[in-house]
């Protein structure tokens, strides 16, 4: 029959083609092993190649070679099912949770089935091998025994699982991969259905098994989708997850100003964001206007401030990338929002600090200029006095004394400045310092008229005595100048010690900037004292915080942490 001849030629050529193409693809994908999922695809192609090869032997050879072909075909068709599931699970990212032992178990099972086919105990695996004249030659085809049927159920189960993975991946991925996954899914479905029909006895010809051709055709189509379009520079699942989980909110807008894609961060940030929602219909008015101006503006620096779910205001810098097609026609825009809240905050803080520094410089120059002009004035007067015919020595000496005083005042101010600059340096050499003796020593020079000192700690700390003394002195002076206090206490705390007073305390609004350079609430103050304290404390590796004392008053807590030696009654010492 002419039809039979034609059909048999077509079948033989298709099977031969399947062998060649899948063999080539196996080699090609192996050479591109750096490409994601290449390794499992290469395995799949190898199994497919041998599967079709086994079948080719069955339909071309005669005698005992038919059985050899059958064993090869049965073994590698089963392995192809395993490789297919491996490939799909790696493609969809499901391989992450599938335990590692699954793959060797399935492989061993497939090989065991191949052995069973070779032995065929009691014809349970292969019911019979039908050999008959078909077109140009003798074709052989097996009919499944009960064990083959069970094996087919298992292999079919693997394909079903792969279809579940692919379907879920397809539904969860909102990108180009959806279509790629759809192609893979559909080819999988076609093979599944046709294999079922073949096993159930629906055949295009009683002597033809079309499954190796179909499975190969499918795998080749998948390979074409993978490599020809090179969708997968990275496994899709990585790109999808990266896009979905990245911290920066990203919104992709198409050329009609409709939202095409957005990630989770964007979803959290912008109210009413949704796929295929036009920009104008988004609830978030600020976002809409910002986007509009960003997309129309030529300058790139647009900022957007919004409160996220947690209620904290954040500022974002919008970076817009134009997406063009191969004809350079704009297809849309990718808007990446980079959070700059912290940078903004730092900028503000820096600006304030600069302002204060300037004020401080003003204070210093003002304070220095006063004694300087005084000194200059007295120098002039003294010179005039001495230039006269009868200089009054006493008046001249008086004038020089004034000059001297002014110089002393200037020296003091310069010392203060130097202290300020030096105290920032770290402390190199420390010794055990008793807080009590250090506080008492500082008290003597702190000019605290009428105040009482009560020391309630016997703690010893590792410190530079003179610098700690300087810090305590400044704290005592601070209590004297600003506190309205009558007593200053040095007390013990869990993590160090504290300087407290029973004065008016420090308003909460002043606390943040209290330790900053040049900050003062007093017209006569220089704003240096507490800044120096903080520098000394931090140079020791300690921390200083300000709180309110029980019953009012200021409380400066110094946390010495592990650097302190603890109190002498500490049981470990």
Partner 1 sequence: MAPFDPELLTESLIVLLYALVAAVLTAGGALAEYSSLQQFGAGETTVALWLAAFGLVLLYAGLYKIGYERVALRVLEARGYGSR
Which spans of this chain sit near partner 1 (rule: CB under 8 A)? 121-122, 124, 146-147, 150, 153-154, 157, 160-161, 163-164, 167-168, 171-172
Q: Regarding beta strands 302-307 and 313-324, do their DSSP bridges make them parallel or antiparallel, or are they unpaired? A: antiparallel
370 vs 363, 366, 519, CA distance in Å?
A: 11, 6, 21
To the nearest whole angstrom, how small is the minimum distance from the Cβ of residue 215 to partner 1? Answer: 21
387 vs 277, 373, 380, CA distance in Å?
A: 93, 21, 10
Nearer to partner 1 among residue 148 and residue 526 (C-beta): 148
To the nearest whole angstrom, how small is the minimum distance from the Cβ of residue 77 to partner 1? Answer: 18
* Largest separation between any pair of C-alpha atoms in the chain: 151
To the nearest whole angstrom, how small is the minimum distance from the Cβ of residue 49 to partner 1? Answer: 29
To the nearest whole angstrom, how small is the minimum distance from the Cβ of residue 282 to partner 1? Answer: 20
Alpha-carbon distance of 259 to 526, in angstroms, equals 57
- What is the signed CA dihedral for 338, 341, 342, 343, rounded to 10 degrees? 70
Nearer to partner 1 among residue 170 and residue 547 (C-beta): 170
Nearer to partner 1 among residue 168 and residue 369 (C-beta): 168
Closest CA to 68 of 14, 154, 140: 140
Alpha-carbon distance of 353 to 359, in angstroms, equals 10
To the nearest whole angstrom, how small is the minimum distance from the Cβ of residue 495 to partner 1? Answer: 46
To the nearest whole angstrom, how small is the minimum distance from the Cβ of residue 299 to partner 1? Answer: 40
Nearer to partner 1 among residue 150 and residue 453 (C-beta): 150
Nearer to partner 1 among residue 89 and residue 216 (C-beta): 89
Q: CB–CB of 174/261 below 8 Å?
A: yes
Alpha-carbon distance of 530 to 481, in angstroms, equals 12
To the nearest whole angstrom, how small is the minimum distance from the Cβ of residue 167 to partner 1? Answer: 5
Instruction: Give residue 462's region: left, alpha or beta (phi > 0; psi -120 to 50).
Output: beta
Instruction: Give residue 251's region: left, alpha or beta (phi > 0; psi -120 to 50).
Output: beta
Nearer to partner 1 among residue 27 and residue 167 (C-beta): 167
Task: Quote the strand ranges of 375-450, DSSP E.
Answer: 431-434
Nearer to partner 1 among residue 189 and residue 320 (C-beta): 189
To the nearest whole angstrom, how small is the minimum distance from the Cβ of residue 98 to partner 1? Answer: 13
To the nearest whole angstrom, how small is the minimum distance from the Cβ of residue 153 to partner 1? Answer: 5
Classified as helix, coil or strand, 232 is: coil
Residue 263: partners with Cβ closer than 8 Å, 6 or more residues away = 243, 244, 245, 246, 249, 250
Nearer to partner 1 among residue 20 and residue 112 (C-beta): 112
Element (H, E) at 115: helix 102-119
Residue 23 CB burial class (10 angstroms; 0-12, 13-18, ≥19): middle
To the nearest whole angstrom, how small is the minimum distance from the Cβ of residue 40 to partner 1? Answer: 22
- How large is the C-alpha radius of gyration of the chain? 43
Alpha-carbon distance of 136 to 12, in angstroms, equals 10
Nearer to partner 1 among residue 161 and residue 453 (C-beta): 161
To the nearest whole angstrom, how small is the minimum distance from the Cβ of residue 150 to partner 1? Answer: 5
To the nearest whole angstrom, how small is the minimum distance from the Cβ of residue 203 to partner 1? Answer: 21
Nearer to partner 1 among residue 171 and residue 400 (C-beta): 171
Nearer to partner 1 among residue 147 and residue 472 (C-beta): 147
* Sequence-separated contacts (24+) of 303-312 with Cβ below 8 Å: 303/340, 304/337, 306/269, 306/270, 308/268, 308/269, 309/268
Q: CB–CB of 419/440 below 8 Å?
A: no
Q: Regarding beta strands 487-493 and 452-456, do their DSSP bridges make them parallel or antiparallel, or are they unpaired? A: parallel
Nearer to partner 1 among residue 157 and residue 274 (C-beta): 157
């Amino acid at each position: 029959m002419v039809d039979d001849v034609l059909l048999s030629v077509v079948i033989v050529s298709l099977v031969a083609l399947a062998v060649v193409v899948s063999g080539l693809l196996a080699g090609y994908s192996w050479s591109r092993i750096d490409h994601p999922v290449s390794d499992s695809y290469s395995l799949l192609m190898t199994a497919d190649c041998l599967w079709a090869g086994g079948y080719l032997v069955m339909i071309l050879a005669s005698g005992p070679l038919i059985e050899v072909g059958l064993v090869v075909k049965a073994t590698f068709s089963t392995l192809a099912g395993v490789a297919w599931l491996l490939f799909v699970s790696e493609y969809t990212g499901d391989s992450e949770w599938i335990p590692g032992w699954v793959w060797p178990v399935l492989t061993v099972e497939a090989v065991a089935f191949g052995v069973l086919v070779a032995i065929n105990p009691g014809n349970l695996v292969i019911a019979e091998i039908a050999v008959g004249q078909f077109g140009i030659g003798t074709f052989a085809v097996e009919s499944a025994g009960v064990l083959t049927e069970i094996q087919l159920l298992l292999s079919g189960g693997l394909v079903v699982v792969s279809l579940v993975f692919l379907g879920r991946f397809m539904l969860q991925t909102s990108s180009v991969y959806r279509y790629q996954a759809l192609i893979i899914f559909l080819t999988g479905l076609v093979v599944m259905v046709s294999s079922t029909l073949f096993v159930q006895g629906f055949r295009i010809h009683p002597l033809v098994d079309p499954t190796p051709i179909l499975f190969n055709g499918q795998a080749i189509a998948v390979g074409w989708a993978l490599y020809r379009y090179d969708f997968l520079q990275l496994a899709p699942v990585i790109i999808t997850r990266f896009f979905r989980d990245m911290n920066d909110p990203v919104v992709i807008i198409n050329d009609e100003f409709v939202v095409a894609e957005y990630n989770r961060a964007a979803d959290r940030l912008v109210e009413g964001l949704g796929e295929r929602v036009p920009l104008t219909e988004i609830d978030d008015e600020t976002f809409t206007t910002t986007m509009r101006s960003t997309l129309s503006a030529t300058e790139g620096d647009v900022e957007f401030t919004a409160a996220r779910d947690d209620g904290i205001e954040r500022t974002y810098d919008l970076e817009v990338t134009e997406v063009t097609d191969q004809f350079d026609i704009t297809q849309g825009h990718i808007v990446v929002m980079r959070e700059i809240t912290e940078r903004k905050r730092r900028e503000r803080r820096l600006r304030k600090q600069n302002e204060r520094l300037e004020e401080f410089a003003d204070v210093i120059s003002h304070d220095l200029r006063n004694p300087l002009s005084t000194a200059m004035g007295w120098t002039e007067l003294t010179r005039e006095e001495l230039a006269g015919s009868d200089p009054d020595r006493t008046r001249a000496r008086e004038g020089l004394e004034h000059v001297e005083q002014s110089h002393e005042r200037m020296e003091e101010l310069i010392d203060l400045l130097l202290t300020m600059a030096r105290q920032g340096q770290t402390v190199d050499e420390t010794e055990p310092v008793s807080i009590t003796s250090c506080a008492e020593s500082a008290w003597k020079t702190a000019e605290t008229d009428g105040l009482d000192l009560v020391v309630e700690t016997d703690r010893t700390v590792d410190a530079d005595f003179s610098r700690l003394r300087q810090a305590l002195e400044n704290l005592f002076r601070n209590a004297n100048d600003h506190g309205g206090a009558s007593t200053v206490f040095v007390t013990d705390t869990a993590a160090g010690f504290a300087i407290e007073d029973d004065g008016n305390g420090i308003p909460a609004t002043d606390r943040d900037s209290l330790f900053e350079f040049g900050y003062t609430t007093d017209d006569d103050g220089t704003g240096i004292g507490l800044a120096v304290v903080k520098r000394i404390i931090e140079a020791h590796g300690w921390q200083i915080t300000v709180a309110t004392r029980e019953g009012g008053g200021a409380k400066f807590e110094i946390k010495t942490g592990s650097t302190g030696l603890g109190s002498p009654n500490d049981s470990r010492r």
